[in-house]
Amino acid sequence: MLSSCANQQLETKPATSVDDAISTKNEDTRSYAEVIAIPMVMSSLLDDESTPRVGPKNAKKAVVVFFDYACGKCAQISKEMNKLIKENPDTEFIFKAYPSLKRDAKVANYATLVANEAYLQGGSESFLAYNKAVFSQRESSGRLTNADVENAAKRLGIKVDNNNLKQKAATEELETRKLGKLIGFHGPHAFIVLPTDLANMNAKQLESNTDKIYVISDKQTNSVTDDYQEAAKWSASKIQTQLKNMK
């Protein structure tokens, strides 16, 4: 079964093997990295304090995760991210929501706004608990509703203005989604691995350090396999390898 996010790339011929997917990534990474290396984009990725993040603030390495609460593949990826967080206590993991462009994003937007509240109210621990609860519900039922989001928030003691957040979710595009589109992603389950000192560089310095920016795009995670679990494990393996190789 294809991921609910996999049909985002109808205009792109899918890779026919893992090697093809890797080749596609190598070709695309340069163009993604060039956008990521724009100072405004780099700051939005690494310096936004309202973005849920897990790990030390003084970390030298960061993993930026673009995800969608309504995405089945993202539910599997979330499990692998939890493992990576435990295996890499020196790395900061930054979570940017990117509800798919191919379906109604209202519920995913709402879930994201509540996730932000969880983080602002209770920090990383509260966010991770909420993240697990929402993705578990998505996985068990095959879909996500506003009621699911509200029940998770209530169980975890997250205080939210439901009506206000629902209105915002229905009428406004998430800033993190805009950021993902600007970089060139067409949907969730995309990742960026990079050293955090890039945030301190000017435009000229960033231009000379694009080779330090490692990208796994939504195109690649969709192409490598149709199996949710295998795609999640494959992505996590690539991220882990890059973190180990990063000085």
Over range 230-240, report the average pLDDT: 97
Let me know if residue 1 belongs to a domain.
no
pLDDT score of 30: 76
Q: How many other C-beta atoms lie within 10 A of the C-beta of residue 43? A: 12
pLDDT 10s digits, 55-64: 999 999 999 9
pLDDT tens across 169-199, in order? 998 899 999 999 999 999 999 999 999 999 9
Residue 2 included in any domain: no
Measure CA 83 to chain center: 15
Q: Does residue 157 fall inside a structural domain?
A: yes
CB 182 within 8 A of CB 45: no
Q: What are the tens digits of pLDDT across the range 38-85?
A: 999 999 999 998 899 999 999 999 999 999 999 999 999 999 999 999
Range of the domain at 122: 15-204+214-245
Instruction: Give the CATH number for residue 200.
Output: 3.40.30.10
In this structure, is residue 10 part of a structural domain?
no
**Phi, psi for residue 160 in degrees, rounded to 5:** -140, 150
Give a yes or no: residue 9 inside a domain. Answer: no
With respect to residue 65, please indicate whether it lies within any of the assigned structural domains: yes
- Hey, is 195 helix, strand or coil? strand
Tell me the C-alpha distance between 98 and 119, whole Å.
17
Domains held by the chain: number: 1
Say how far apart CA 79 and CA 17 lie, in whole Å.
25
Asked if 149 contacts 134 with a C-beta cutoff of 8 angstroms, the reply is: yes
Buried b (16+ CB within 10 A) or exposed e, 53-73: bbbeeebebbbbbbbbbbbbb
- In the chain, what is the greatest distance between 2 CA atoms, to the nearest angstrom? 49
Query: What residues have CB less than 8 Å from 28, skipping those under 6 apart?
Result: 184, 215, 217, 219, 220
For residues 65 and 191, what is the distance between their CA atoms, to the nearest angstrom? 5
Q: What's the pLDDT at 162?
A: 85
- pTM of this structure: 0.88
Residue 193 falls inside a structural domain = yes
10 by DSSP, 3-state: which?
coil
Q: Are 36 and 42 in contact (CB under 8 A)?
A: yes
Residue 131 lies in a domain: yes
